[in-house]
Copies of this chain bind each other. A is one copy, B any other.
Amino acid sequence: MEEMHPVEAVIAAADDAINREDIDAVMECYAEHAVLVVRPGMHAVGKGQIRQALIAIAEHFAHTLMVEQLTMEVLDSGNTALVVALTRISAKGMEPVDRKAIYVFERGSNGRWLCTIDNSYGHELLEGVHA
């Protein structure tokens, strides 16, 4: 087993904050200029839009959204880290959905890792682009 990457702690904190619906705590995990894939073709750009999207997502799932990383791998290139993960999305009244998610993190000058690109849809972005 590999040592835990510091990015994994940020993801664990973000998931915990989502599951408690603590939007302020979730937002602390994003960089100012981050991009969130709300769904393929629809992106929230910057923390203002991301906060609005997170509130809408929480409402969409009737405040029962639960996020869990079943497994993940971190590839680190200095101050940039790529996370490939199998992410389980659950909510009341729906079957859990597992997504092959992709996250990018950057380490700022203060040493903190923040999410810059949050694409839980992974390669689903390409669907429709190529049959």
Contacts and interface: CB of A to CB of B under 8 A. Distances in A.
Interface of A: 31, 33-35, 37, 43, 70-73, 75-78, 80, 82, 84-86, 100, 102, 104, 106, 116-117, 119, 122-123, 125-126, 129-130
B35 A77 contact: yes
Contacts of A77: 31, 33-35, 104, 116-117
Nearest to A77: B116
A31 B123 CA distance: 24
How many copies the complex holds: the figure is 2
B82 A117 contact: yes
A2 to B, nearest CB: 10
A130 B100 CA distance: 12
